[in-house]
Structure 1
Amino acid sequence: MREIKFQAWDLDAEQMYNWESIKQLFHEHLDHPRVKVRQYTGLKDETGREIWEGDIRKDSLGRIFKVVFYDDLAAFYGEHPGGLIQSLADCGPDSEYLGTVYENPDLLEASE
């Protein structure tokens, strides 16, 4: 069974918070529109770095994608600009971390 963990990006403070900080700082504000909660996918890349929802990564073919969770499929996927969607199990483990959609949205725009 995969480990379930969360992070939250605070749009105002431009800072990422871990789960312990979220519980202390945002216990009344988890549904706040200025806080974006991220879920751990349960996967790590080749360097041992955890892969999180909202990460921007580069696959082994050099294509940039973001990590997304599809509620209707109950699974994480790699979503490439232009519409290609891959199972995260296929493109994630050998991918390279580039940033997040919150800290580095320009990375996705540059790859379109």
Structure 2
Amino acid sequence: MREIKFRIYDKQDEQMIEWSDLYRYYGIPEDWDMEDLLNGQADDEYSEVMQSTGLKDKNGREIYEGDILYYTVFDRFDHDQQYKGIVKWSDDDAQWFLASIDGSDFQGPDFHPLGWVWRQDDEPEIIGNIYENPNLLKEGETNG
């Protein structure tokens, strides 16, 4: 069975909190369950809850919603192209995808399903996240 993991970005302290540290950080009783946390104290104007995709990048780092990935899309004509995308969940498509950094509507070339990216590039890399690295959201900026 796949473990479902979360992390939280605390907007006031401007820091990422791993799920394992959540009880200690917020002073929440340990007998609260995940639903209590997500529907109550943790997800409000002061914090953002992000779910893990269950995948890891080329450096073994777990990939979460809100992470910014650098990856390559290969084609059969050797016109490989590098992208930066934000990991998001699509309720309509019931899947994780990488959204274009330029803020488009995530259709066509600006929308890459995460599973498809994994078949294209076995070495995607987390280069930051939308909360701690907003400078990476500039269109055209790359990882190197």
Amino acid at match of 2:15: Q
Q: Deviation string for 1:49-80 (max 9, x for gaps)? A: 11110001111232111000112222110111
Q: Which residue of 1 aligns with 2:57?
A: 45
What TM-score do you get using the length of structure 1 for normalisation?
A: 0.86
Structure that is richer in helix per residue: 2
Structure that is richer in strand per residue: 1
Work out the percentage of aligned pairs sharing the same amino acid: 37
1:86 aligned to which of 112, 122, 139: 112
Q: Which residue of 2 aligns with 1:54?
A: 66
Tell me how many residue pairs correspond in the alignment.
Answer: 112
Unaligned runs of 5+ in 2: 29-36, 73-80
Q: Give the drift of 1:10.
A: 0.5
Q: Which residue of 2 aligns with 1:66?
A: 86
Q: Give the drift of 1:13.
A: 0.3
What TM-score do you get using the length of structure 2 for normalisation?
A: 0.68
Amino acid at match of 2:91: D
Larger-gyration structure (1/2): 2
Unaligned runs of 5+ in 1: none
| 1:4 partnered with 2:16 | no
Q: Give the drift of 1:19.
A: 1.0
TM-align CA RMSD: 2.0
Q: Which residue of 2 aligns with 1:103?
A: 132
